[in-house]
A and B are shown apart, each in its own frame.
Chain A
Amino acid sequence: GENVEQHPSTLSVQEGDSAVIKCTYSDSASNYFPWYKQELGKGPQLIIDIRSNVGEKKDQRIAVTLNKTAKHFSLHITETQPEDSAVYFCAASGNQGGKLIFGQGTELSVKP
């Protein structure tokens, strides 16, 4: 089955700096790669996703890149703000009936 590895587990940046979180996956059949943000006491919320026919996608300060050959994808947050502080999860899904497998999570801390 699919296995998703995520790094780093914790990340601390200064406000205004960029943050990058990386994930690798094992199943070459996976074709959907979402990123979720989880704030304290809440459930994860989708922030951006990418499908395997696209190499990069951007939404304001957030971008995701995908390298299908290397089986890795990354989340880039530019001009970080304190409200970006949260736990971020990557995930992968393929032709398994919609089953999403999550990475271990990255705790991002943005210091003012």
Chain B
Amino acid sequence: DAGVIQSPRHEVTEMGQEVTLRCKPISGHNSLFWYRQTMMRGLELLIYFNNNVPIDDSGMPEDRFSAKMPNASFSTLKIQPSEPRDSAVYFCASSKGRASGANVLTFGAGSRLTVL
């Protein structure tokens, strides 16, 4: 199993540009999570999906952020327009989700975003 695959690994862009981060979860996992990691705020949950449906997006910072999961094997996190304060490492994770919790998350290697 190749694990959770994220792309790109590094992205440098200028303020105002659109950024799209991609994630391929582990086959058979039905829950997918997007986290953001910064020194100041640690690991923050942005949004998570169960069976391709967004369950909780309360962590999405503002309308500039959007996430989609069109099928069980692909998800995107989009930032439009990007701002310097969006600079962070964005992690995707997947699990064999159960509504009752107790999910073992497998994380991808992360996408490091720098907005100039």
* Chain A residues in the interface with B (C-beta under 8 A): 31-32, 34, 36, 41-46, 49, 51, 89, 93-105
**10 closest A-B pairs by CB:** A43-B107, A98-B103, A32-B102, A102-B43, A93-B101, A104-B42, A98-B97, A97-B55, A44-B107, A98-B101
Partner of A98, one of B4, B43, B98, B109: B98
Interface pair A49/B56, CB less than 8 Å apart: no
- Any chain A CB within 8 A of the CB of B2? no
Interface pair B110/A96, CB less than 8 Å apart: no
Shortest CB distance B75–A (Å): 15
Count CB-based A-B contacts (< 8 Å). Answer: 73
Chain A residues whose C-beta falls within 8 Å of the C-beta of B60 in the assembled complex: none
Interface pair B102/A97, CB less than 8 Å apart: no
Interface pair B56/A96, CB less than 8 Å apart: yes
